[in-house]
């Protein structure tokens, strides 16, 4: 019996020894590779679409029924950061009694050609720590969010300026203010 247990322990150690280095190699940071031309086009289109745009919509809270709560994310700029899947979102976030403007380094993962803004335990000054997955599809967004024990769904539309010249000359202020009157 002792011999059988000894053999099992040795076998277990051997398997773990083979698995751990292979897993560790996967976790080792690799030098960033240059994105393909197709990927660069996706990145450029995403940055252009999201810069000077506003995500206007609603969110729900799990277990609560009734009216929806409005949310707004005014994105002054969105740009790819040099390392990994991180993008810098310079955003004004408004929902409920909250209104904060912050720079947020956020992960953007790609499901094919669809960007998914991904928050994993991300602290947002003035608001707390959040998890979220927000898919951008054309002029719509949808996703899930979690803040401690509370979570739910969010969804809405992406409003962008009509032309690049309008964005450069006038900013997003006029378009955003007219949206508030609706």
Q: What is the pLDDT of residues 6-15, one digit of tens each?
A: 433 344 333 3
The answer on 163 and 101 residing in a single domain is yes
- Distance of alpha carbon 73 from alpha carbon 145, whole angstroms: 14
82-98 confidence digits (pLDDT tens): 999 999 999 999 988 99
Q: Are residues 141 and 67 in the same domain?
A: yes
Number of domains in the chain: 2
Same domain, 26 and 88: no
Asked whether residue 81 falls in the same domain as residue 158, the answer is: yes
What one-character DSSP code corresponds to residue 31? P
The pTM (predicted TM-score) of the whole model is: 0.70
Beta-sheet strands, E only, within 46-149? 53-59, 69-80, 86-95, 98-111, 114-124, 128-137, 140-147
Same domain, 112 and 174: yes
Q: Are residues 24 and 51 in the same domain?
A: no
Same domain, 144 and 163: yes
Are 16 and 58 contained in the same domain? no
47 plus 107 within the same structural domain: yes
Give the pLDDT confidence of 147-171 residue by residue, as tens digits.
999 999 999 999 987 544 443 433 4
CATH number at residue 56: 2.40.128.120
pLDDT over 90 at 40, yes or no = yes
Whether 25 and 92 map to the same domain: the answer is no
Report the 10 Å Cβ neighbour count for 5.
9
Both 2 and 49 in one domain: the answer is no
Is 143 found in the same domain as 66? Answer: yes
Which pLDDT value is given to residue 32?
A: 60
For 94, the domain range is 37-180
């Amino acid at each position: 019996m002792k011999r059988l247990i000894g053999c099992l322990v040795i076998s277990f150690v051997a398997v773990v020894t083979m698995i751990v280095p292979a897993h560790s190699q996967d976790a080792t940071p690799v030098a960033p590779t240059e994105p393909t031309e197709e990927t660069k086009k996706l990145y450029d289109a995403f940055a252009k679409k999201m810069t000077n745009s506003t995500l206007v919509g609603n969110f729900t809270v799990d277990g609560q029924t009734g009216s929806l709560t409005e949310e707004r994310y005014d994105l002054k700029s969105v740009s790819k950061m040099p390392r990994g899947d991180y993008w810098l979102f310079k955003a004004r976030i408004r929902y409920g009694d909250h209104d904060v403007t912050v720079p947020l380094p956020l992960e953007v993962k790609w499901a094919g050609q669809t960007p998914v803004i991904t928050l994993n335990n991300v602290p947002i000054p003035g608001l707390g720590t959040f998890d979220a997955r927000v898919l951008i599809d054309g002029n719509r967004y949808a996703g899930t969010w979690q803040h401690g024990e509370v979570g739910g769904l969010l969804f809405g539309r992406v409003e962008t300026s009509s032309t690049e010249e309008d964005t450069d000359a006038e900013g997003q202020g006029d378009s955003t203010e007219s949206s508030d009157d609706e």
